[in-house]
């Protein structure tokens, strides 16, 4: 999909939704730690400001 978009819109910025960002991040976490990491990532991505994200 990204390659198709880039071929037509060469200067387009491609941004994944939060759900896909979390899923992609969890691919690199051991299965034992996924639940806890998912909770932490949801706090970070759900924060409305950068300061709140840093505190999460």
- What is residue 21's predicted lDDT score, i.e. its pLDDT? 86
* pLDDT (tens digit per residue) in 27-55: 999 999 999 999 988 888 877 777 766 77
- Output the CA torsion 45→50→54→19 (10° steps): 10
pLDDT at residue 19 tops 80: yes
- With 0.85 as the threshold, say if the pTM is over it: no
Q: How many whole angstroms separate alpha carbon 19 and alpha carbon 42? A: 9
Q: How many whole angstroms separate alpha carbon 35 and alpha carbon 54? A: 20
């Amino acid at each position: 999909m990204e390659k198709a978009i880039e071929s037509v819109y060469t200067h387009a910025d491609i941004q994944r939704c939060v759900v896909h960002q979390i899923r992609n991040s969890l691919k690199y976490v051991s299965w034992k730690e996924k639940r806890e990491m998912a909770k932490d990532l949801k706090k970070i991505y759900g924060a409305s400001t950068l300061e709140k994200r840093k505190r999460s």
